[in-house]
Chain A
């Protein structure tokens, strides 16, 4: 049996009196796209922040290649985090920097590449996302959808091995949404990265993700493939997909 790349075992997390994750179990496999769906405020972003290390669990374990993150050496944890990239729900772009500088930042600060090489990489990503006219602009001068694409360009510019997308298509028109989905799929096939996508794009996400997990009330209520979803008799899952409240 394949060992999951990242595995959550009974992870609990509270913020004060608010219990967000109440014993979450989830397996993420290498080279796959997994979509996490669920109502707003159920802790989907918190789940992603556990993977990238912005938040630490109160109890339970997170395993990387079968080894607990708490037992990993500082170097091992650092090198794991270096393979990650995160696209924030609200983009988290640097509003005092130009679009070019925003996308180039992770390369400029971390990688000892020549300036021309960095420029080439950044321009390529920006071009792919149809943002070439915005290079000298600032985030506040762009529409919500454009800012989303800038955030996506920044997340992909380092060629990461694991990409965490927090609602990557919110605020985009259907054409752009499809373009972003195709791009994620295309890149994923090309580079083979592992992707975790928190999304509300149902049913489009079923064509993109190999596996889907539904988070509800702090736990994973359903986990499986597209076929498993269609065959499922889970009331909660079916109601959520149809947009009904249970």
Chain B
């Protein structure tokens, strides 16, 4: 009984270690291939369009409403202490240091990350990845490397957009709807934000780009090993990719914040 339990537990640990080794190798091969010529310029542009440009609308929408909610909640909380004037500072601080990078990463995971996992997963089960190998094309370089470059460029830009739109959302709630002086709102935004806050948000955005792209592409690439074959396998991989990306976004958000504060 005890032996069986140890065997089962040991088997799971070994499987986990094997998975960990595979994802590290997958990531390293992808990164090394960034520096191997020829530079995959056209593919990077295509992925920039898909990951970056096509996410703009969803980022504007979520950024605006997040900022508006922050403005609304912040106003009523600050009003209890007679500090409504600090609303601009509270909204911008929360967005730039915390919510901007995290919400952007989650939205891009939902929109582009799931698509990456599903597309690569379908390629795996329909032997397209094997076909790449038979054509002497490195599948990791072909599928993962351009996506990671595009993500590392897109995530910080989308995060900056989220922050700006969010601050504007706070302005709509705080100044237009609740009557805080607009010059006071903008003044507190400008005076309270330092370059270190912006840098912190930037580091987070870049880290999340690596995390989301690696997990989503890895889940799709190894669909057959973790989730099985067929449509069900791809759907499971896609779900796992989104769930695991979100979990790791929150874990790394804490770790990075811990080192930054």
Among B119, B128, B136, B137, point to the contact of A92 (Cβ < 8 A).
Answer: B128
Q: Which residue of A lies closest to B130 (CB)?
A: A54
Task: Tell me which residues from 80 to 131 in chain B have a Cβ below 8 Å from any Cβ of chain A.
Answer: 119, 122-123, 126-128, 130-131
Cβ contacts under 8 Å, B126 to chain A = 90, 92, 95
Interface residues on B, range: 10 to 19
- Cβ contact within 8 Å between A52 and B135: no
Given A81-B136, A82-B136, A96-B119: A109 and B142 interface contact (C-beta under 8 Å)? yes
Give Cα distance in the complex from A106 to B137, angstroms: 8
- Cβ contact within 8 Å between B137 and A52: no
Min CB distance, B202 to chain A, in Å?
32
- Cβ contact within 8 Å between A54 and B135: no
- Cβ contact within 8 Å between B135 and A105: yes
Give Cα distance in the complex from A95 to B135, angstroms: 16
Q: Which residue of A lies closest to B138 (CB)?
A: A109
Q: Is B15 in contact with chain A by the CB < 8 A criterion?
A: no
Give Cα distance in the complex from A109 to B137, angstroms: 7
Give Cα distance in the complex from A54 to B136, angstroms: 11
Q: Is A85 in contact with chain B by the CB < 8 A criterion?
A: yes
Give Cα distance in the complex from A86 to B131, angstroms: 8
- Cβ contact within 8 Å between A110 and B136: yes
Min CB distance, A198 to chain B, in Å?
15
Cβ contacts under 8 Å, A94 to chain B = 123, 128, 131
Q: Which residue of B lies closest to A106 (CB)?
A: B135
Min CB distance, B30 to chain A, in Å?
17
Q: Which residue of B lies closest to A112 (CB)?
A: B38
- Cβ contact within 8 Å between A88 and B131: yes
Q: Which residue of A lies closest to B42 (CB)?
A: A108
Q: Is A197 in contact with chain B by the CB < 8 A criterion?
A: no
Q: Which residue of B lies closest to A89 (CB)?
A: B127
Min CB distance, A133 to chain B, in Å?
24
Q: Which residue of A lies closest to B129 (CB)?
A: A92
Min CB distance, B125 to chain A, in Å?
10
- Cβ contact within 8 Å between B134 and A84: yes
Q: Is B12 in contact with chain A by the CB < 8 A criterion?
A: no
Cβ contacts under 8 Å, A86 to chain B = 131, 134
Min CB distance, A140 to chain B, in Å?
11
- Cβ contact within 8 Å between A110 and B135: yes
Among A84, A90, A105, A109, point to the contact of B127 (Cβ < 8 A).
Answer: A90
- Cβ contact within 8 Å between A52 and B134: yes
Interface string of B172-185 (1 = CB under 8 A from A): 00000000000000
Give Cα distance in the complex from A53 to B127, angstroms: 14
Give Cα distance in the complex from A25 to B171, angstroms: 77
Given A90-B126, A90-B127: A54 and B134 interface contact (C-beta under 8 Å)? yes
Min CB distance, A15 to chain B, in Å?
12
Give Cα distance in the complex from A158 to B119, angstroms: 27
Pairs across A and B, CB under 8 Å, 30 listed: A52-B134, A54-B130, A54-B133, A78-B136, A81-B136, A82-B136, A84-B134, A85-B134, A86-B131, A86-B134, A88-B127, A90-B126, A90-B127, A92-B126, A92-B127, A92-B128, A92-B130, A92-B131, A93-B128, A94-B123, A94-B128, A95-B128, A96-B119, A109-B135, A109-B137, A109-B142, A110-B135, A110-B136, A110-B137, A158-B135
| A interface list, Cβ under 8 A from B | 52-54, 78, 81-82, 84-86, 88, 90, 92-96, 105-106, 109-110, 158
Identify 7 new A-B residue pairs, CB closer than 8 A, beyond the known A54-B133, A78-B136, A93-B131. A52-B134, A54-B130, A82-B136, A84-B134, A85-B134, A86-B131, A109-B135
| B interface list, Cβ under 8 A from A | 119, 122-123, 126-128, 130-131, 133-137, 142
Query: Which 3 pairs across A and B sit closest by C-beta, in order of nearness?
Result: A92-B131, A92-B127, A86-B134
